[in-house]
Amino acid sequence: MPSNIIESSTFETNVVGPDNGDAIDAPSVRNGLQDLANRTTFLGESIQGQFTLDPVFLDGSSFQLNPTFTSGVWDENHVVQQTALAATIEGLVVYAIPAPAIPGTNAYQITQVRVGIDPAGGHGALPARLPRIRFCRVTGGALTVLHTTVDPSASVPVYEAGHEIVTAGLSEDFVDGSTYFVAFSGEQGANAVDGLVVRNARCTIQRI
């Protein structure tokens, strides 16, 4: 009777197929299917982990690329800096989350989003509106904000030290035909100071 092939996460060097003179039996075919199943599982599991995101939109009135920035504790990725109008315009940087490039993308989940920032010094108090990240989905032209995380810093020294804003409790399945992105908003309002640097944005994708 037919039975399921139990996959192993191994990228087999060769895929064995039947040849002339081989016995006409299940193993002559099943061995090759096993190799292919193992490769498929290996490739599927390799599309998970933490990925660095690229910005696809900048609010030019308040953010600009700063490619000359070279020092820091994080891997630099298209560093952007809030340079003007911080008190009146929160600014916006949008990062695209790429869907796994294999069929059946709903077999994967986004489990975490994190943005590394380095606020400028000189804050007399915490900004009235702290930076935040919004995790969003677009399906059929409709935008849904799935998760919002506000910078949790509770004091100026903590805020002005380089840190990450990290989502918690994400378990969003990739849905075929939907687009996912992260929207970062800078500081705004009373006590806001120009010069906040966004060092990178990352997301974690896991296979379900």
Torsion angle, alpha carbons of 11, 14, 20, 21, to 10: -80
pLDDT at 141 over 70: yes
Residue ranges per structural domain of the chain = 15-46, 49-207
| Paired sense of beta strands 108-118 and 163-166, if any | antiparallel
Q: Which residue has the higher pLDDT, 69 or 55?
A: 55
How confident is the prediction for the chain on average, in pLDDT? Answer: 75
Let me know how many helices (H) and strands (E) the chain has, helices first: 2, 12
pLDDT given at position 120: 87
Q: DSSP states of 43-105 as a string?
A: HHHHT-EEEE--EEEE-TTTEEE-TT---SSS---S-EEE-S-TTT----EEEEEPPPSSS-G
Residues in CB range of 15: below 8 A, 6 or more apart: 32, 35, 36, 39
pLDDT tier, 134 (very low <50, low <70, confident <90, very high otherwise): very high
pLDDT given at position 127: 92
Dihedral sign from CA coordinates of 91, 81, 196, 77:
positive
pLDDT tier, 105 (very low <50, low <70, confident <90, very high otherwise): very low
Give me 127's structure tokens: 């900004």
Average pLDDT on 42-56 reads: 61
Torsion angle, alpha carbons of 188, 146, 142, 186, to 10: 20
pLDDT given at position 66: 59
Lowest mean pLDDT among 49-58, 168-177, 181-190: 49-58
pLDDT at 98 over 80: no
Torsion angle, alpha carbons of 188, 65, 141, 170, to 10: -70
Residues in CB range of 75: below 8 A, 6 or more apart: 52, 200
Q: Which residue has the higher pLDDT, 13 or 67?
A: 13
Q: Which numeric CATH code is attached to 49-207?
A: 2.60.120.260
pLDDT tier, 75 (very low <50, low <70, confident <90, very high otherwise): very low
Per the CB < 8 A criterion, the answer to whether 113 and 133 are in contact is yes
Average pLDDT on 136-146 reads: 89
Most confident range, picked from 58-62, 75-79, 195-199: 195-199
pLDDT tier, 70 (very low <50, low <70, confident <90, very high otherwise): very low
Phi-psi region of 36 (alpha: psi -120 to 50; beta: other; left: phi over 0): alpha
Nearest to 58 by CA among 76, 75, 80, 85: 80
Average pLDDT on 2-29 reads: 67
Q: Which residue has the higher pLDDT, 99 or 147?
A: 147
Lowest mean pLDDT among 45-49, 112-116, 138-142: 45-49
pLDDT at 93 over 50: yes
